[in-house]
Amino acid sequence: MEVKTSLLDNMIGVGDMVLLEPLNEDSFIENLRNRFDHNEIYTYIGSVVISMNPYRSLPIYTPQKVEEYRNRNFYELSPHIYALADEAYRSLRDQDKDQCILITGESGAGKTEASKLVMSYVAAVCGKGQEVNKVKEQLLQSNPVLEAFGNAKTMRNDNSSRFGKYMDIEFDFKGDPLGGVISNYLLEKSRVCKQPRGERNFHIFYQLLSGASDDTLMKLKLDRDFSKYNYLSLDSANVNGLDDAASFRTVRNAMQIVGFMEAEVQSVLELVAAVLKLGNIEFKPESRINGFDESRVKDKNGETIVGLDNQQLYCGTEFPVTVHMDTHLTFLSNFCAYYARDALAKNLYSRLFSWLVTRINESIKAQAKTRHKVMGVLDIYGFEIFEDNSFEQFIINYCNEKLQQIFIELTLREEQEEYIREDIEWTNIEYFNNAVICDLIENNQNGILAMLDEECLRPGTVTDDTFLDKLNTICAEHQHFESRLSKNSKFLTDHSLPHSCFRIQHYAGKVLYRVEGFVDKNNDLLYRDLSQAMYKATHSLMRQLFPEGNPAKVNLKRPPTAGFQFKASVGVLMKNLQTKNPNYIRCIKPNDKKVAHIFTDSLVCHQVRYLGLMENVRVRRAGYAFRQPYESCLERYKMLCKKTWPQWRGPTRDGVEVLLTDCSVPSEEFAYGRSKIFIRNPRTLFTLEERRRACLEDLATLIQKIYRGWKSRTHFLLLKKSQVVVAAWYRRYAVSLLLMQSFIRGWKVCPCPHTSIEYMPVSLQMQKYFLGLKTTTMSPMDNTWPTQPYGFLEGAHTELRRIFHLWRCKKYRGQFTEEKKSVYEEKLEASEIFKDKKALYPSSVSQPFKGDYLEIQKNPKYQKLNGAVEEKVLLADLVNKINRANGKGSPRLFLLTKSNFVLADQKTGQVKASVPLPDLASVSVSTQSDGFFALKLKEGSASASKGDFLLSSEHLIEIITKLHRIGTTAADRDQINIDISDE
């Protein structure tokens, strides 16, 4: 058996935290630091992968690495994200288990990069083929598009995902990708209008202004200068390492690959430009006689928004109010006008992003209707604790609470199932259940989200302070809620807890939330007259994004709140994840400076705590720290016991029992499962490793000794053999010299001076004859051959000529590819069928058999027809179907597969007839040079009711030949008779 490597070989630190001794927070952090310093950025906790962001490129993602981890057991090699991806893919492909890969961590920890690595690995190891490669390319190219519109530069990350993404990749029974579905969660649309200092807006704005051509910018009426747009922050517009112009070209190419039409791309860019221009609209306050403040647009000729005339847009500063059947025109205040402008910009961009996701899903969704195997990849925002935490951080952290809950539940369930499956006694594990925190947030009666929705919907004056008052009333006694007026607040004068804030004790620590903006952000409302103005736009995509603006479909029902929508989408996500086998990647960033080679202990410790990694290790070690299949265990440690070395003959479990008994391992330190050995204490494993290492050193010494002896002996035998060869060559030289002397002496004695060929020695004539053979050409059609010098060479002469001809024929055939060989075989079969029988045949000999004369795979006109034919099309041609009633011909598409022939309408591609080949009795053709042929169906077959077919084609010889080959090669089918006559 091949000796495999293992994560225990040449280990830097401990590759699996389950084996860490002693186990505490300090040793955990120190082990991560040790591995990070040696460029080991991946570490296991059982089957969970911890990924450290190196902030630099490492040579560990090469095609060679992909092949190294392909089809290898999880613990065979050192920890790597490829090992987890391979384990998930093989479980999906071979065991038919749907998988999900959950990637969590802080912003900047490398979650997006991890999801790309997983997808690229799966794309590299799954099947190949034109359609499969197209699907893989579309799935991979959806990332640059979503990153451009959904990612931004933040203080923590230059390419931070400002939305959550979950992708279900669908596979067929062979493990080849069929398509995918993307779900997006909570785009941070507030960034469109305002960015924190040192951060940027979404990438697409900068990419468009930097990378678009001058003609494109002229059409969009944009300027390359970032400073001319109020929505673009200037202090960090240019980012080191980010080439916005090159990224824009990448995004345009990716959109084309995914399937966007050029008109769609142009529409998207026009709406991106519209958002930029909206930010440049400014208002001036005016006071009316009645004392109310109003606002007017400063420069009505300033910005022109695509698809909208200025009158439609500027009407956004006024709206009608109907009182007692009288309609009055009311103007917005200056503050409300700016609020309405920003709300429109945020809604327009958010809806555009949702449309992009929907459009990508239309392109990448699986076309097949059979049951799919599914692998989900979740790349979602990590737990966020900022100096100023608002509504966005609240629902992001709520999502992370739900993910932590499912992580603990599924981890415990997986542990328990393995113990039960292996018939090992299960030990109950104490752990913190964060269901109480989830209930505090999502409870339908008195949860924080429910109370926020209630405040948004109730009549009367509603403010953020009234919402906080309600929280203080209902949640005052909750153990995980704190505010100035709650029972859990220790000091009313605590300056760390302002009056306008509340604090929640999350599983990752306490987070202080400022209630300012909670009600407004949860409402997420847009003035109805703005929606109607957008719907009146001439821009088709803009109209599509604001369907509620249709006056004919006015809906007075209040739209669901942002919190309600997010809670519902998270609930759907959790149900989806619970139906799949989970795989976890926990991403950690080593420092806040985004530079390589820096490891900040306090920052890493904080992430280890809120990710619950120590708790995860304790759950894993509650019973047995290490488990390994009997085969792997015996193969690794068999050299420790004379009875199992070098080869154990018998059941592997018996071999492991003999091995552990011989090594004097205490019986309380291990347990035997059905297929695995369970070791309780990591120290026992390390003791076995130390003994194995010492034994390997002894074996290495023995191998070196044997090798040196073999090398010396081999060298001696080589010297001896060389001496014999040298002596033989010398003797041969001496004999040749003596022979030459005898010839020279004989020539001197010979009285005849003739030098003609007949007086030449026989050996020289034979030598000249054999040397002349090399001038013979390699063409099998060349019959030339040197003449024989002597009659006694006649047998050898004939045999050499025969052998040489066979050899050069073989060399000629060896140049053929399989495809070319198949074409020649078809041509040979056509010759056997039609030669000297059909007058049309001689003219077809020089015509190559093409097969697909309609280019059915490439021509979009026949895409529907191509989908209707499930098998590979062997021949596609345009034929004339002769009407038996009047003799007129109708053009038809003729498709031939291994099982059927199909006739379809030339214009519509609609299938007119599909006949299984077993129903075909014979094919009749005339001996003349016409292209007519008749397909006769078997009496009593399912297709017999359609009657026989009389067809005409320019490629008759090829059609009949392929029909004959299919009937000949199919084992379960009678051979199709070919009738050539004039009857």
pLDDT (tens digit per residue) in 313-351: 555 455 444 433 444 455 677 777 888 888 899 999 999
Mean pLDDT of all residues in 217-222:
91
Q: Does residue 506 sit in helix, strand or coil?
A: strand
pLDDT for 895 equals 87
The DSSP 8-state label assigned to residue 895 in this structure reads E
Can you name the CATH fold of 397-524+564-569? Methane Monooxygenase Hydroxylase; Chain G, domain 1 (1.20.58)
851 is catalytic: no
pLDDT for 302 equals 57
Q: Does residue 505 sit in helix, strand or coil?
A: strand
Decide if 171 contacts 374 (C-beta within 8 A): yes
Sheet holding 676-679, edge to edge: 626-629, 676-679, 670-672
Q: Is the pLDDT higher at 536 or at 597? A: 597
Phi first, then psi: give them for residue 794, nearest 5 degrees: -60, -45
pLDDT for 972 equals 58
Q: Whose CA is closest to 964, among 923, 926, 927?
A: 923
Mean pLDDT of all residues in 698-723:
91
Catalytic residue among 43, 47, 51, 107: 107
pLDDT for 957 equals 86
pLDDT for 689 equals 80
358 is in an annotated binding site: no
Q: Does residue 203 sit in helix, strand or coil?
A: helix
The full set of domain ranges for the chain reads 1-120+590-623, 397-524+564-569, 626-717, 819-980
Residue 616 CB-density burial (10 A; 0-12 exposed, 13-18 middle, 19+ buried): buried
Mean pLDDT of all residues in 811-838:
82
Q: Is the pLDDT higher at 458 or at 215? A: 215
pLDDT for 722 equals 92
Which positions ≥6 away from 817 have C-beta within 8 Å?
none
Which positions ≥6 away from 874 have C-beta within 8 Å?
851, 896, 897, 898, 962, 966
pLDDT for 770 equals 77
Going from the C-alpha of 67 to that of each of 39, 61, 86, 117, 748, the distances in angstroms are 21, 10, 11, 14, 74
Tell whether the model's pLDDT for residue 183 goes beyond 50: yes
pLDDT for 318 equals 54
pLDDT for 754 equals 47
Token pair recorded at residue 942:
């399912």
Decide if 175 contacts 137 (C-beta within 8 A): no
Q: Which residues of 10-41 are buried (b: 16+ CB within 10 A; e: fewer)?
A: ebebbbbbbbbeebeeeebbebbbebbeeebb
Catalytic residue among 43, 53, 160, 397: 160
Percentage with pLDDT > 90 across the chain: 25
pLDDT for 759 equals 45
pLDDT band at 149 (very low <50, low <70, confident <90, very high): very high
Token pair recorded at residue 656:
């492991």
Other beta carbons within 10 Å of 951: 22
Tell whether the model's pLDDT for residue 135 goes beyond 70: yes
pLDDT for 755 equals 44
496 is in an annotated binding site: no
Tell me how far apart the alpha carbons of residues 927 and 980 are, in angstroms, rounded to a whole number.
6
The DSSP 8-state label assigned to residue 852 in this structure reads B
- 3-state SS, one letter per residue, for 858-890: CCHHHHHHHHHCCCCCCEEEEEEEECCCCCCEE
112 is in an annotated binding site: yes
pLDDT for 4 equals 44
Can you name the CATH fold of 1-120+590-623? Kinesin (3.40.850)
- Cα–Cα–Cα angle for 678, 679, 685, nearest 5°? 135
107 is catalytic: yes
pLDDT for 489 equals 56
Range name among 599-603, 604-608, 953-957 with the lowest pLDDT average: 953-957
Decide if 180 contacts 364 (C-beta within 8 A): yes
Give the mean pLDDT of the chain.
Answer: 83
384 is catalytic: yes
Catalytic residue among 76, 282, 384, 631: 384
pLDDT band at 274 (very low <50, low <70, confident <90, very high): very high
- Cα–Cα–Cα angle for 452, 457, 459, nearest 5°? 120
Tell whether the model's pLDDT for residue 45 goes beyond 60: yes
pLDDT (tens digit per residue) in 629-658: 888 888 888 888 888 888 888 888 899 988
pLDDT for 290 equals 57
Can you name the CATH fold of 626-717? Alpha-Beta Plaits (3.30.70)
Q: Whose CA is closest to 464, among 504, 498, 500?
A: 500
Decide if 316 contacts 536 (C-beta within 8 A): no
Tell whether the model's pLDDT for residue 889 goes beyond 80: yes
Strand duo 283-287 + 42-45: pairing: unpaired
Check the CA dihedral 578-580-586-592 and report its sign: negative
Decide if 640 contacts 691 (C-beta within 8 A): yes
Other beta carbons within 10 Å of 482: 23
Fold match flag (397-524+564-569 vs 819-980): no
Which positions ≥6 away from 510 have C-beta within 8 Å?
482, 503, 504
Tell me how far apart the alpha carbons of residues 874 and 897 are, in angstroms, rounded to a whole number.
5
Catalytic residue among 31, 43, 53, 157: 157
Specify the long-range contacts of residues 242-248, CB closer than 8 Å, at least 24 apart: 242/153, 242/158, 242/159, 244/203, 244/206, 244/207, 244/209, 244/210, 244/211, 245/207, 245/210, 245/211, 246/211, 247/144, 247/148, 247/203, 247/207, 247/211, 248/148, 248/207, 248/208, 248/210, 248/211, 248/212
Tell whether the model's pLDDT for residue 812 goes beyond 90: no
Q: 512: which strand partners?
A: 503
Listed ranges 29-38, 119-128, 609-618, 835-844; the one with the highest mean pLDDT:
29-38
Nearest-10 Cα torsion for 522, 528, 531, 532: 170
Tell whether the model's pLDDT for residue 624 goes beyond 90: no
pLDDT for 327 equals 44
Catalytic residue among 43, 47, 53, 161: 161
105 is in an annotated binding site: yes
Concatenate the DSSP letters of all residues of 476-490 into one string: TT-TTEE-TTSTT-S
Rg, the chain, Cα only = 40
Beta strands in 665-705 (DSSP E): 670-672, 676-679
- Length reported for the chain: 983
Mean pLDDT of all residues in 577-591:
90
Specify the long-range contacts of residues 480-487, CB closer than 8 Å, at least 24 apart: 480/436, 480/437, 480/440, 480/504, 480/505, 480/506, 481/440, 481/505, 482/510
Q: Whose CA is closest to 254, among 166, 349, 359, 178?
A: 359
pLDDT for 491 equals 47
Catalytic residue among 15, 46, 108, 211: 108
Can you name the CATH fold of 819-980? PH-domain like (2.30.29)
Check the CA dihedral 400-401-404-406 and report its sign: negative
pLDDT for 328 equals 45
Token pair recorded at residue 484:
């100035």
694 is in an annotated binding site: no
Range name among 1-15, 80-94, 238-252, 929-943 with the lowest pLDDT average: 1-15
Q: Is the pLDDT higher at 814 or at 353? A: 353
Listed ranges 455-459, 479-483, 778-782; the one with the highest mean pLDDT:
479-483
Decide if 521 contacts 394 (C-beta within 8 A): no
pLDDT for 429 equals 65
pLDDT for 556 equals 64
Q: Measured over all CA atoms, what is the biggest interatomic distance in the chain, rounded to whole angstroms?
A: 148
Concatenate the DSSP letters of all residues of 309-331 into one string: -HHHHHGGGEEEEEETTEEEEEE
pLDDT (tens digit per residue) in 472-495: 888 888 888 988 776 565 545 566
Other beta carbons within 10 Å of 377: 26
pLDDT (tens digit per residue) in 528-580: 777 888 888 888 898 888 888 787 776 667 778 888 888 998 898 888 888 88
160 is catalytic: yes
Q: Is there a cis peptide before residue 753, judged by omega within 30 degrees of 0? A: no
Tell me how far apart the alpha carbons of residues 169 and 290 are, in angstroms, rounded to a whole number.
62
Range name among 179-188, 204-213, 512-521, 624-633 with the lowest pLDDT average: 624-633
Range name among 293-307, 815-829, 944-958 with the lowest pLDDT average: 293-307
157 is catalytic: yes
109 is in an annotated binding site: yes
Token pair recorded at residue 752:
């005849």
Mean pLDDT of all residues in 370-379:
86
Q: Does residue 626 sit in helix, strand or coil?
A: strand
108 is catalytic: yes
